[in-house]
Chains A and B, each alone.
Chain A
C-alpha cells in the first residue's frame, strides 16, 4: 500500500491555509448569496412600508421582516407552535415520502424493465400524474379515518409520480452490456438488482425524490389548513384567525427556510450519488 505519509504541520497553519483558500474560492460566492438575501429582505420591507403608508392598513405593519423574524417566530417557539407544527408536518411528509418511494421505485423499475408493463401502464400513469394532488382531498377525507392518513395519502399521490418516472428513465439509460457482464460473472437476479440496477439508477431516483419533496412540500401546507389540529399549515391558519400577522409571516419564512434546507440536503446526496464524470 502506498499511503501518503502524513506531514506533521501545526494545526494553526493548516486552518489559516484553509481560510485563505476559502476566502479566495468561497468568498465571492458567500458574498453574492448574502447580498441576494439582503435584497429580498429589503424588497419585503419596502413593500410593507409602502402598504402601511395608508393609515387604514396600519395593522399590516406586523408583516415586516423584523416583526416576523424577531417577534413572530420567538412567540410561536415559546408556546410550542413551531415544535408541534414541525413534528406533525414532518411526520406526514416523512411517511408520505417513504410510501411514495416504496411504491414509486419498484413501479419505475417494472416500467423500465418490462416493455409490456410499461406500454400497458403508460396512459393510466400519465392521467393520474396530471391530477393535482389536492383535488384528491375530498375523497381522501371520506376514505381515511384520520386526517393524518388523509394528508399522507395526498402527499403520496403527489410524490409517487416524480419518483416513478425518474426511476423508469434511469432504468432506460442503463447500458445493456452491464447485464451481460454481470451474468457472465455469475450474477443471480438479486445481484443484478442490488449491484447493477440500483446503483445505476440511484442518481435518477434521488432526482425524482428531490422533485417529489418539492411537490409534497407544496401539497402539505394547504392540506393542513382545514381539519387538522397540528402542523405548519394549521399554525398559519391559527395565526390568521387570531390576527397574529407577525406569526403568520414568521411561519411563511420558516416554510421557505425548511424547504430550502431539505432541498440542499437532497442536492448533497445527489452529488454524492452521481457517478457520471464530465469529460
Chain B
C-alpha cells in the first residue's frame, strides 16, 4: 500500500453552530508536515471535536480555510478519514463487509475489495475475526474494525476523536502503540484529539493545547521527539508528560478565572473565560532534550 501523508495548512479557521450561537473556536492557524502526528488536548467543550469535523469536511467552517496539500477541504473524502469515539459499525454487516464498505462506495469490484480487506485485517491483527458478526466482538476489537475501515481507504490523513477513551487501560495501550506504528509505517498524517495526556505523549510527534471558549490553540506546543515504541512508564515519556502538564496549567492559568486553581486537565470545572489578548500570537516551542 503506497500511502503518503499530506501537508495540512489551516488559516483563520472560525466556527459557530448557528447564526446566534457563540463562536465554537476562533481564528485558528495551524500547520502540520507530511506524515506528522499531532495531538490536541483540551478541556471538554473547547471545540476539539468540532475542529476535527471541520478538518474532515463533515462540518463547514464559518470562515477560514483548511488546505490539505493544495486542495481546499469542502466536503468529506475518503482521503481524509475520521475515526470516532465509538466504532459505529454497521451491525447488519460482517467484519469484512464493514471494513470494505468505503471501497464499495468507491465502486471497487468485489474481488479487489476482498484482497484489500484481507490485507488490512492482517495489519490490524483481526484476521481470525474476518467473518464474525461485529456485535460479537469486544469494544477493542470493534475499534480495530473501525480503524481497518478507515485504513482500507488509504487515507492521507487520519483524524481520531478520542478513539480509545471507552476502552480499558490495557486495550487502550495496545491500540495506541498499534495505531502509531501502523500509521507511521504507511506514512499517513494523523491528528488525535484526547483528554489523556499520556496518550498525547505516546502517540504524537507534537502536542497542542486548545483552550477557552471560543477555543484557540495555545501559544506553547510540545515537540515529542522520542523513539518508538514508547511506554507510559518510560522516564522520557514521564518527563514529557510533566512538560505537557505544566504547559496545560499555564494555558488554563492564562484565563483570569483559573489563576492559582491548579486543576489538572481532567478536572472539568467551568471553562475558563479568557480574553482574546491572552492568546499571544507569538508561538513558543518547547523542545525538551530527549
Contacts and interface: CB of A to CB of B under 8 A. Distances in A.
Interface in A142-189: 175, 177-178, 180-188
A195 B88 contact: no
Is chain A's interface secondary structure helix, strand, loop, or mixed overall?
Answer: helix
B90 interface: yes
Interface in B98-123: 101-102, 104-106
Interface string A201-231: 0100000000000000000000000000000
Given A200-B92, A277-B133, A186 B84 contact: no
A94 B33 CA distance: 62
A188 B77 CA distance: 11
B94 to A, nearest CB: 10
B38 interface: no
A195 B90 CA distance: 9
B251 to A, nearest CB: 30
Contacts of A188: 105
A182 B105 contact: yes
Contacts of B153: 185-186
B-side interface size class:
20 to 34
B91 A275 contact: yes
B136 A2 contact: no
A277 B91 CA distance: 9
B35 interface: no
B78 A185 contact: yes
A119 B132 CA distance: 41
A176 to B, nearest CB: 10
A184 B58 contact: yes
Contacts of B101: 182, 185, 195
B77 A186 contact: yes
A21 interface: no
Nearest to B150: A185
Contact of A178 (B56, B88, B128, B133): B88
Interface of B: 56, 58, 76-78, 81-82, 84, 86, 88, 90-93, 101-102, 104-106, 128, 133, 135-136, 149-150, 153
A175 B88 contact: yes
B106 A186 contact: yes
Given A182-B105, A275-B91, A177 B86 contact: yes
Nearest to A190: B105
A140 to B, nearest CB: 39
A276 interface: yes
A199 interface: yes
B81 to A, nearest CB: 6
Given A177-B84, A277-B136, A184 B76 contact: yes
Nearest to B127: A2
A276 B136 CA distance: 11
A188 B56 CA distance: 16
Given A195-B105, A200-B92, A276-B91, A181 B78 contact: no
30 contacts: A2-B128, A177-B86, A178-B88, A178-B90, A180-B84, A180-B88, A181-B84, A183-B58, A184-B56, A184-B58, A184-B76, A185-B105, A185-B149, A185-B153, A186-B105, A186-B106, A186-B153, A187-B105, A188-B105, A191-B104, A191-B105, A195-B90, A195-B105, A196-B90, A199-B90, A199-B93, A202-B92, A275-B92, A277-B91, A277-B133
Contacts of B88: 175, 177-178, 180-181
B160 to A, nearest CB: 12
Contacts of B91: 275-277
A31 B165 CA distance: 52
B159 to A, nearest CB: 9
A271 to B, nearest CB: 14
B90 A186 contact: no
A189 to B, nearest CB: 11
